[in-house]
Amino acid sequence: MVKRLFEKLYLLLIFAFLYAPIVVLMAFSFNESKSRSVWTGFSLKWYEKVFQNSEIMSALYYTLLLAIFSAVIATIIGTISAIGIHSLGKWGKKLTLDINYLPVLNPDIVTGVSLMILFIFVKMRLGFLTLLLSHIVFNIPYVIISVLPKLRQLDKNIYEAALDLGATPGYAIRRVILPQIMPGVITGLLLAFTLSLDDFVISFFTTGSGVTNLSIAIYSMTRRGVSPEINAISTLMFVVVLVLLVVVNGRMSDEKTASDNH
Protein backbone atom coordinates (compact mmCIF):
# COMPACT_ATOMS: atom_id res chain seq x y z
CA MET A 1 0.00 0.00 0.00
CA VAL A 2 2.76 2.41 1.03
CA LYS A 3 4.77 1.20 -1.97
CA ARG A 4 1.87 1.96 -4.30
CA LEU A 5 1.55 5.45 -2.89
CA PHE A 6 5.26 6.03 -3.20
CA GLU A 7 5.20 4.86 -6.81
CA LYS A 8 2.37 7.23 -7.66
CA LEU A 9 4.13 10.12 -6.01
CA TYR A 10 7.36 9.33 -7.83
CA LEU A 11 5.66 9.16 -11.23
CA LEU A 12 3.89 12.41 -10.46
CA LEU A 13 7.14 14.17 -9.60
CA ILE A 14 9.03 12.86 -12.64
CA PHE A 15 6.29 13.78 -15.06
CA ALA A 16 5.93 17.17 -13.41
CA PHE A 17 9.65 17.66 -14.02
CA LEU A 18 9.25 16.60 -17.66
CA TYR A 19 6.12 18.58 -18.43
CA ALA A 20 6.22 21.67 -16.22
CA PRO A 21 8.66 23.56 -18.49
CA ILE A 22 6.65 22.79 -21.62
CA VAL A 23 3.31 23.59 -20.05
CA VAL A 24 4.62 26.84 -18.60
CA LEU A 25 6.17 27.73 -21.94
CA MET A 26 2.91 27.14 -23.78
CA ALA A 27 0.72 28.79 -21.16
CA PHE A 28 2.73 32.00 -21.22
CA SER A 29 2.47 32.20 -24.98
CA PHE A 30 -1.13 33.23 -24.30
CA ASN A 31 -0.20 35.74 -21.64
CA GLU A 32 -1.26 39.31 -22.07
CA SER A 33 1.90 40.97 -20.79
CA LYS A 34 5.55 40.37 -21.60
CA SER A 35 6.11 38.79 -18.19
CA ARG A 36 6.92 35.11 -18.21
CA SER A 37 6.12 34.57 -14.56
CA VAL A 38 3.02 36.63 -13.77
CA TRP A 39 -0.25 35.82 -15.50
CA THR A 40 -2.07 39.00 -16.52
CA GLY A 41 -4.76 37.70 -18.81
CA PHE A 42 -5.45 35.75 -21.97
CA SER A 43 -4.37 37.15 -25.31
CA LEU A 44 -3.30 35.98 -28.74
CA LYS A 45 -1.16 39.00 -29.40
CA TRP A 46 2.15 37.11 -29.33
CA TYR A 47 0.85 34.86 -32.08
CA GLU A 48 -0.10 37.94 -34.07
CA LYS A 49 3.37 39.35 -33.49
CA VAL A 50 4.96 36.12 -34.68
CA PHE A 51 3.06 36.31 -37.94
CA GLN A 52 4.05 39.93 -38.41
CA ASN A 53 7.72 39.31 -37.62
CA SER A 54 9.43 39.22 -41.01
CA GLU A 55 12.53 37.52 -39.60
CA ILE A 56 10.51 34.63 -38.24
CA MET A 57 8.35 34.39 -41.36
CA SER A 58 11.41 34.21 -43.62
CA ALA A 59 12.92 31.57 -41.30
CA LEU A 60 9.68 29.61 -41.47
CA TYR A 61 9.72 29.82 -45.26
CA TYR A 62 13.30 28.52 -45.44
CA THR A 63 12.60 25.81 -42.86
CA LEU A 64 9.69 24.42 -44.86
CA LEU A 65 11.48 24.78 -48.18
CA LEU A 66 14.49 22.96 -46.77
CA ALA A 67 12.45 20.24 -45.12
CA ILE A 68 10.41 19.54 -48.27
CA PHE A 69 13.27 19.64 -50.76
CA SER A 70 15.81 17.81 -48.61
CA ALA A 71 13.30 15.12 -47.61
CA VAL A 72 12.13 14.50 -51.18
CA ILE A 73 15.63 14.49 -52.69
CA ALA A 74 17.03 12.36 -49.87
CA THR A 75 14.17 9.90 -50.27
CA ILE A 76 14.75 9.54 -54.01
CA ILE A 77 18.54 9.12 -53.69
CA GLY A 78 18.17 6.98 -50.58
CA THR A 79 15.63 4.59 -52.06
CA ILE A 80 17.57 4.06 -55.30
CA SER A 81 20.79 3.60 -53.32
CA ALA A 82 19.14 1.19 -50.90
CA ILE A 83 18.09 -1.02 -53.83
CA GLY A 84 21.69 -0.96 -55.06
CA ILE A 85 23.19 -1.54 -51.61
CA HIS A 86 20.81 -4.45 -51.05
CA SER A 87 22.37 -6.36 -53.96
CA LEU A 88 25.98 -5.59 -53.02
CA GLY A 89 28.28 -8.37 -51.81
CA LYS A 90 28.90 -8.95 -48.13
CA TRP A 91 31.96 -6.73 -47.74
CA GLY A 92 30.83 -3.98 -50.06
CA LYS A 93 27.56 -3.82 -48.18
CA LYS A 94 29.20 -3.69 -44.78
CA LEU A 95 31.63 -0.94 -45.82
CA THR A 96 28.92 1.13 -47.51
CA LEU A 97 26.58 0.84 -44.55
CA ASP A 98 29.36 1.69 -42.10
CA ILE A 99 30.21 4.88 -43.97
CA ASN A 100 26.51 5.60 -44.40
CA TYR A 101 26.14 5.31 -40.63
CA LEU A 102 28.85 7.87 -39.90
CA PRO A 103 26.62 10.97 -39.97
CA VAL A 104 24.15 9.20 -37.67
CA LEU A 105 26.88 8.30 -35.21
CA ASN A 106 29.02 11.42 -35.31
CA PRO A 107 28.12 14.26 -32.97
CA ASP A 108 26.15 16.82 -34.98
CA ILE A 109 28.73 19.47 -34.29
CA VAL A 110 31.45 17.38 -35.96
CA THR A 111 29.26 16.69 -39.02
CA GLY A 112 28.46 20.40 -39.09
CA VAL A 113 32.01 21.68 -39.01
CA SER A 114 33.27 19.02 -41.42
CA LEU A 115 30.67 20.05 -44.01
CA MET A 116 31.42 23.70 -43.39
CA ILE A 117 35.13 23.03 -44.06
CA LEU A 118 34.22 21.19 -47.27
CA PHE A 119 32.02 24.00 -48.59
CA ILE A 120 34.54 26.71 -47.80
CA PHE A 121 37.37 24.54 -49.16
CA VAL A 122 35.70 24.29 -52.58
CA LYS A 123 34.84 28.00 -52.33
CA MET A 124 31.07 27.55 -52.27
CA ARG A 125 29.24 30.53 -50.83
CA LEU A 126 27.50 29.47 -47.63
CA GLY A 127 23.77 29.96 -48.03
CA PHE A 128 20.64 28.12 -49.03
CA LEU A 129 22.40 25.68 -51.38
CA THR A 130 24.97 24.56 -48.81
CA LEU A 131 22.22 24.28 -46.21
CA LEU A 132 20.14 22.14 -48.54
CA LEU A 133 23.10 19.89 -49.41
CA SER A 134 23.89 19.41 -45.72
CA HIS A 135 20.32 18.45 -44.93
CA ILE A 136 20.28 15.95 -47.79
CA VAL A 137 23.59 14.53 -46.49
CA PHE A 138 22.25 13.79 -43.02
CA ASN A 139 18.83 12.70 -44.25
CA ILE A 140 19.88 10.01 -46.74
CA PRO A 141 21.27 7.60 -44.10
CA TYR A 142 17.91 7.56 -42.31
CA VAL A 143 16.04 6.87 -45.55
CA ILE A 144 18.38 3.98 -46.36
CA ILE A 145 17.97 2.60 -42.85
CA SER A 146 14.16 2.70 -43.24
CA VAL A 147 14.09 1.18 -46.74
CA LEU A 148 16.62 -1.66 -46.35
CA PRO A 149 14.52 -3.82 -43.99
CA LYS A 150 11.64 -3.70 -46.50
CA LEU A 151 13.96 -4.91 -49.25
CA ARG A 152 15.09 -7.77 -47.05
CA GLN A 153 11.47 -8.87 -46.59
CA LEU A 154 10.95 -8.89 -50.35
CA ASP A 155 10.53 -12.20 -52.18
CA LYS A 156 13.62 -12.60 -54.37
CA ASN A 157 11.68 -14.22 -57.20
CA ILE A 158 9.16 -11.46 -57.70
CA TYR A 159 11.50 -9.27 -59.72
CA GLU A 160 12.55 -12.22 -61.88
CA ALA A 161 8.94 -13.20 -62.40
CA ALA A 162 8.16 -9.70 -63.63
CA LEU A 163 11.05 -9.89 -66.10
CA ASP A 164 9.91 -13.32 -67.32
CA LEU A 165 6.50 -11.86 -67.96
CA GLY A 166 8.08 -9.30 -70.24
CA ALA A 167 8.59 -6.29 -67.99
CA THR A 168 11.65 -4.16 -68.63
CA PRO A 169 13.93 -3.77 -65.56
CA GLY A 170 12.85 -0.16 -65.12
CA TYR A 171 9.17 -1.10 -65.36
CA ALA A 172 9.64 -3.98 -62.92
CA ILE A 173 11.24 -1.72 -60.33
CA ARG A 174 8.61 0.96 -60.73
CA ARG A 175 5.56 -1.27 -60.78
CA VAL A 176 6.63 -4.32 -58.79
CA ILE A 177 9.42 -3.50 -56.34
CA LEU A 178 8.51 0.07 -55.45
CA PRO A 179 4.91 -0.60 -54.33
CA GLN A 180 6.17 -3.31 -51.99
CA ILE A 181 8.83 -1.19 -50.30
CA MET A 182 6.58 1.89 -50.26
CA PRO A 183 5.86 1.78 -46.49
CA GLY A 184 9.60 1.98 -45.78
CA VAL A 185 10.01 4.78 -48.31
CA ILE A 186 7.22 6.85 -46.76
CA THR A 187 8.56 6.30 -43.26
CA GLY A 188 11.97 7.43 -44.47
CA LEU A 189 10.44 10.50 -46.10
CA LEU A 190 8.58 11.53 -42.96
CA LEU A 191 11.62 10.85 -40.79
CA ALA A 192 13.80 12.95 -43.09
CA PHE A 193 11.22 15.72 -43.09
CA THR A 194 11.03 15.81 -39.30
CA LEU A 195 14.81 15.66 -38.85
CA SER A 196 15.30 18.51 -41.26
CA LEU A 197 12.59 20.54 -39.53
CA ASP A 198 14.24 19.94 -36.17
CA ASP A 199 17.89 20.44 -37.03
CA PHE A 200 19.86 23.20 -35.42
CA VAL A 201 23.53 22.31 -35.06
CA ILE A 202 24.36 21.26 -38.62
CA SER A 203 22.36 24.15 -40.10
CA PHE A 204 24.08 26.57 -37.76
CA PHE A 205 27.48 25.74 -39.23
CA THR A 206 26.55 25.42 -42.88
CA THR A 207 24.36 28.45 -43.44
CA GLY A 208 25.44 31.87 -44.58
CA SER A 209 24.23 35.35 -43.88
CA GLY A 210 20.62 36.06 -44.76
CA VAL A 211 19.43 32.48 -44.70
CA THR A 212 18.20 31.07 -41.39
CA ASN A 213 15.85 28.31 -40.41
CA LEU A 214 13.53 28.50 -37.42
CA SER A 215 15.99 26.84 -35.03
CA ILE A 216 18.66 29.37 -35.87
CA ALA A 217 16.17 32.23 -35.61
CA ILE A 218 15.09 31.02 -32.20
CA TYR A 219 18.70 30.64 -31.15
CA SER A 220 19.56 34.20 -32.09
CA MET A 221 16.40 35.45 -30.39
CA THR A 222 17.31 33.69 -27.15
CA ARG A 223 20.76 35.24 -27.35
CA ARG A 224 19.12 38.66 -27.43
CA GLY A 225 16.89 37.86 -24.47
CA VAL A 226 13.71 35.92 -24.01
CA SER A 227 10.47 37.07 -25.57
CA PRO A 228 6.95 35.62 -25.47
CA GLU A 229 7.05 35.46 -29.26
CA ILE A 230 9.42 32.50 -28.87
CA ASN A 231 6.83 30.84 -26.62
CA ALA A 232 4.27 31.26 -29.37
CA ILE A 233 6.49 29.73 -32.08
CA SER A 234 7.45 26.94 -29.65
CA THR A 235 3.83 26.07 -29.14
CA LEU A 236 3.11 26.08 -32.86
CA MET A 237 6.19 23.99 -33.68
CA PHE A 238 5.49 21.51 -30.93
CA VAL A 239 1.98 20.95 -32.16
CA VAL A 240 3.10 20.54 -35.80
CA VAL A 241 5.91 18.10 -34.97
CA LEU A 242 3.58 16.22 -32.65
CA VAL A 243 1.01 15.70 -35.40
CA LEU A 244 3.73 14.60 -37.83
CA LEU A 245 5.23 12.12 -35.42
CA VAL A 246 1.90 10.68 -34.45
CA VAL A 247 1.42 9.97 -38.18
CA VAL A 248 4.89 8.39 -38.50
CA ASN A 249 4.39 6.38 -35.34
CA GLY A 250 0.97 5.20 -36.46
CA ARG A 251 2.51 4.05 -39.74
CA MET A 252 5.35 2.24 -37.99
CA SER A 253 3.09 0.32 -35.63
CA ASP A 254 0.71 -0.47 -38.51
CA GLU A 255 3.61 -2.03 -40.36
CA LYS A 256 4.66 -3.86 -37.26
CA THR A 257 1.27 -5.47 -36.83
CA ALA A 258 1.13 -6.09 -40.59
CA SER A 259 4.47 -7.90 -40.56
CA ASP A 260 3.56 -9.73 -37.36
CA ASN A 261 0.50 -11.15 -39.07
CA HIS A 262 2.62 -12.63 -41.82
Partner 1 sequence: MKKKWLSYPYMIWMAIFIVIPMALVLFYAFTVKDGESVRFSLANFQKFCQPVYLKVALRSIMLAFYCTIGCFLLGYPLAMILASKEYVKKRMLLLLLILPMWMNILLRTYAWMTLLEKNGLINNFLGNFGLGPYQFLYTDVAVVIGMIYNFLPFMVLPIYSVLVKMDHSLIEAAEDLGAGRLTVFRKVTFPLSIPGVMSGVVMVFMPAVSTFIISRLLGGGQFSLIGNLIEQQFLWVGDWHFGSALSIVMMILILISTAILNHYDRDHDNEGVGGLW
- Chain positions 47 to 76 lying near partner 1, rule: CB under 8 A, are none
In the complex, what is the shortest distance from the CB of residue 44 to partner 1, in angstroms, rounded to a whole number?
Answer: 19
The contacts of residue 75 (CB under 8 Å, 6+ apart) are 143, 185, 188, 189, 192
Straight-line distance from the first to the last Cα atom of the chain, in angstroms, rounded to the nearest whole number:
44
Q: Which of 40, 168, 249, 259 binds partner 1 (CB under 8 A)?
A: 249
Q: Which of 1, 5, 107, 261 binds partner 1 (CB under 8 A)?
A: 107
In the complex, what is the shortest distance from the CB of residue 68 to partner 1, in angstroms, rounded to a whole number?
Answer: 18
In the complex, what is the shortest distance from the CB of residue 203 to partner 1, in angstroms, rounded to a whole number?
Answer: 11
Q: Which of 12, 14, 44, 161 binds partner 1 (CB under 8 A)?
A: 14
85 contacts partner 1 (rule: CB under 8 A):
yes
Residue type, 94: K
Maximum pairwise Cα distance, the chain? 74
Q: Mark the segment that binds partner 1 (CB under 8 A) among 40-48, 54-62, 181-189, 241-249.
A: 241-249
Tell me which residues in 204-223 interact with partner 1 (CB under 8 A): 205, 215, 218-219, 222
Q: Which residue, 68 or 226, is less far from partner 1 as judged by CB?
A: 226
Q: Kindly determine how many residues on this chain lie close enough to bind partner 1 according to the rule CB under 8 A.
A: 77
Best CA proximity match to 227, nearest among 43, 23, 28: 28
Tell which phi-psi region holds residue 224, choosing left (phi > 0), alpha (psi between -120 and 50) or beta: alpha
Tell me which residues in 149-178 interact with partner 1 (CB under 8 A): 156, 159-160, 169, 173, 177
Round to whole Å and give the CA distance between 134 and 8: 45
200 contacts partner 1 (rule: CB under 8 A):
yes
CA quadruple 121, 122, 127, 131: dihedral, nearest 10 = -80
Q: Mark the segment that binds partner 1 (CB under 8 A) among 24-32, 42-50, 54-62, 179-187.
A: 24-32
In the complex, what is the shortest distance from the CB of residue 245 to partner 1, in angstroms, rounded to a whole number?
Answer: 5
DSSP code of residue 87 = T
Q: Report helix, strand or coil for 42.
A: strand
DSSP code of residue 29 = G
In the complex, what is the shortest distance from the CB of residue 52 to partner 1, in angstroms, rounded to a whole number?
Answer: 21
17 contacts partner 1 (rule: CB under 8 A):
yes
Q: Which of 66, 67, 126, 140 binds partner 1 (CB under 8 A)?
A: 140
Q: Report helix, strand or coil for 31.
A: strand
The contacts of residue 58 (CB under 8 Å, 6+ apart) are 212
In the complex, what is the shortest distance from the CB of residue 142 to partner 1, in angstroms, rounded to a whole number?
Answer: 11
230 contacts partner 1 (rule: CB under 8 A):
yes
Burial 24-35 (b: 16+ CB within 10 A, else e): ebbebbbbeeee
